[in-house]
């Protein structure tokens, strides 16, 4: 029998300690968090800036989600080709993206290349260049994506629910932008957005993996960010996000999507922000109601069909639902099963009654009109900073 060598054993299976996080500030002003994990010779670097969708300027919706797509296109020190070459030489994995509150640039690579990777990541994140040709390419791709969402019932239902709950305020606006707003985004706009939102002194670099903390901190102190706080006089204020006014429209909204093969239903409620102490309880509630195949929402009725009229203890909105500004965070937890559950009949779905609606709730149905539903359905719950949405779909 092979001994259990090489892996640290915990005396008690439940006695596993929390991760030890070392924190410091690098010379360029970047906040650094460092977590050691020596299980494999890899390190994961994550640069995060407060540059999420909530920072989209009015009229330029979509700019926050477009900007991270351009980090490979060149920097002050490297051309796009040089960035690609170095990433390939390192055998590294690079991913970038954005959410409501922030945007990130993540790099995974062998720990032997840690410092090369840090220098590359800092250069890409802070001195990015935005060539017109690259912007035109991502803009074109984004416009096609927006057009694709218009034909996708699931996306239509999500967008319509956001509009129903939040109107024209921050969370009601489309993170991908609109055709008009995306067409307005040019190199100058992106450079200005990047300059304001990807500042070292408002950003954070996380290093996790096979790294020796003390040695790394000494060495990292010599890798200053290419752009320092001194480059600007004062930090830009955070954006004055549009107020979160919750005044959903009454009634059931129905959107017809030609050629759709699924009917999508959303029921949404305004709720608490991500930093609320109630959020863990809400997550548990979401799991019970719609978080997996054993949830109540997923349990088929005795008739074997979807039955939205079945009484459900829908989440009641918190008295602190009118969260504004940066406290109005949006979390997301999906609960789709690995398989489409069997069963499904159109009759109970067509006759659905939505209970528990009040002035903070909204319901949306997106369908191809008179669906004959059968086959499979899926289910889930979205918990946003200001809304909880139960959702179900059934294949036609």
List alpha helices for 52-98, DSSP H: 63-66, 80-90
Among 20, 21, 40, 249, the residue binding another protein under the rule CB under 8 A is 40
Q: What is the largest CA-CA distance in the chain?
A: 68
Q: Interface with another protein includes 1 (CB under 8 A)?
A: yes
Shortest spacing between CB 41 and another protein, in angstroms: 6
Shortest spacing between CB 34 and another protein, in angstroms: 18
Among 50, 74, 102, 108, the residue binding another protein under the rule CB under 8 A is 108
Shortest spacing between CB 152 and another protein, in angstroms: 13
Among 84, 249, 281, 284, the residue binding another protein under the rule CB under 8 A is 84
- Please, which residue, 24 or 261, has the CB nearer to another protein? 261
Alpha carbons within 13 A on the beta-carbon side of 159: 17
Shortest spacing between CB 10 and another protein, in angstroms: 5
Question: What whole-number distance in Å separates Cα of residue 185 and Cα of residue 183?
Answer: 6
Shortest spacing between CB 334 and another protein, in angstroms: 13
102, 127, 161 from 286: Cα distances, Å: 24, 41, 18
Q: Interface with another protein includes 293 (CB under 8 A)?
A: yes
Among 21, 23, 25, 38, the residue binding another protein under the rule CB under 8 A is 38
Can you tell me whether residue 98 is helix, strand or coil?
A: strand
**Phi–psi pair at 78, nearest 5 degrees:** -135, 145
Q: Which residues contact 207 (CB under 8 A, 6 or more apart)?
A: 32, 33, 34, 35, 43, 44, 45, 114, 118, 216, 220
Among 45, 87, 134, 272, the residue binding another protein under the rule CB under 8 A is 87
Shortest spacing between CB 209 and another protein, in angstroms: 9
Q: Helices 132-150 and 153-166 meet at what angle, rounded to 10?
A: 90
Residues in the chain: 396
Q: Interface with another protein includes 110 (CB under 8 A)?
A: yes
Instruction: Print the binding letters for residues 334-373 with another protein: x by CB under 8 A, - otherwise.
Output: ---xxxx-xx------------------------------
Q: Interface with another protein includes 109 (CB under 8 A)?
A: yes
- Please, which residue, 296 or 316, has the CB nearer to another protein? 296
Q: Interface with another protein includes 147 (CB under 8 A)?
A: no
Among 27, 213, 245, 292, the residue binding another protein under the rule CB under 8 A is 292
Query: How open is the CA angle 211-214-218, to the nearest 5 degrees?
Result: 100
Round the CA-based radius of gyration of the chain to a whole number and report it. 24
Q: State which of positions 42-71 bind another protein (CB under 8 A).
A: 42
Q: State which of positions 200-259 bind another protein (CB under 8 A).
A: none
Q: Interface with another protein includes 9 (CB under 8 A)?
A: yes
For the chain, helix (H) and strand (E) counts, in that order, are 10, 11
Stretch of residues binding another protein (CB under 8 A), selected from 7-15, 149-157, 217-225, 268-276: 7-15
Q: Classify residue 288 by its DSSP letter.
A: H
Question: What whole-number distance in Å separates Cα of residue 375 and Cα of residue 389?
Answer: 23
Beta strands in 138-247 (DSSP E): 204-209
Q: Which residues bind to another protein, rule: CB under 8 A?
A: 1-10, 13-14, 16, 38-42, 72, 81, 84-85, 87-93, 108-110, 292-294, 304, 337-340, 342-343, 374-376, 395
């Amino acid at each position: 029998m092979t001994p259990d060598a090489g892996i640290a054993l915990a005396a008690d299976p439940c006695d596993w300690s929390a991760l030890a996080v070392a924190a410091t500030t690098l010379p360029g002003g970047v906040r650094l968090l460092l977590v050691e994990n020596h299980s494999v010779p890899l390190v994961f670097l994550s640069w995060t800036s407060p540059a999420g969708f909530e920072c989209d300027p009015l009229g330029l919706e979509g700019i926050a989600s477009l900007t991270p797509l351009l980090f490979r296109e060149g920097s002050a020190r490297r051309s796009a080709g040089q960035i690609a070459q170095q990433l390939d030489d390192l055998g590294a994995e690079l991913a970038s993206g954005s959410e409501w509150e922030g945007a990130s640039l993540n790099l995974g690579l062998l720990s032997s290349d840690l410092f090369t990777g840090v220098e590359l990541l800092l250069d890409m994140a802070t001195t990015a260049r935005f060539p017109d040709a690259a912007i035109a390419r991502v803009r074109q791709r984004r416009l096609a994506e927006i057009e694709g969402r218009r034909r996708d019932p699931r996306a239509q239902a999500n967008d319509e629910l956001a509009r129903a709950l939040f109107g024209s305020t921050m969370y009601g606006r489309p993170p991908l932008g609109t055709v008009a707003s995306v067409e307005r985004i040019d190199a100058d706009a992106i450079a200005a957005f990047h300059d304001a939102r990807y500042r070292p002194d408002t950003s954070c670099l996380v290093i996790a993996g096979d790294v020796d903390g003390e040695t790394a901190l000494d060495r990292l102190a010599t890798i200053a960010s290419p752009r320092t706080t001194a480059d600007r006089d004062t930090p830009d204020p955070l954006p004055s996000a549009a107020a979160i006014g919750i005044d959903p429209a009454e009634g059931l909204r129905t959107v017809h999507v030609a050629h759709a093969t699924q009917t999508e239903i959303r029921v949404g409620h305004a709720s608490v922000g991500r930093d609320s102490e109630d959020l863990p309880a809400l997550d548990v509630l979401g799991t019970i109601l719609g978080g997996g195949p054993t949830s109540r929402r997923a349990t088929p009725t005795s008739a074997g069909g979807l039955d939205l009229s079945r009484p459900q203890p829908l989440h009641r909105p918190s008295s602190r639902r009118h969260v504004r500004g940066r406290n109005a965070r949006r979390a997301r937890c999906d609960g789709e099963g690995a398989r489409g559950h069997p069963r499904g009949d159109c009759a109970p779905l067509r006759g659905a009654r939505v209970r528990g609606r009040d002035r903070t709730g909204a319901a949306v149905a997106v369908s191809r009109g008179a669906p004959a539903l059968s086959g499979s359905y899926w289910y889930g719950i979205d918990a946003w900073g200001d809304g909880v949405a139960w959702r179900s779909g059934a294949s036609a």
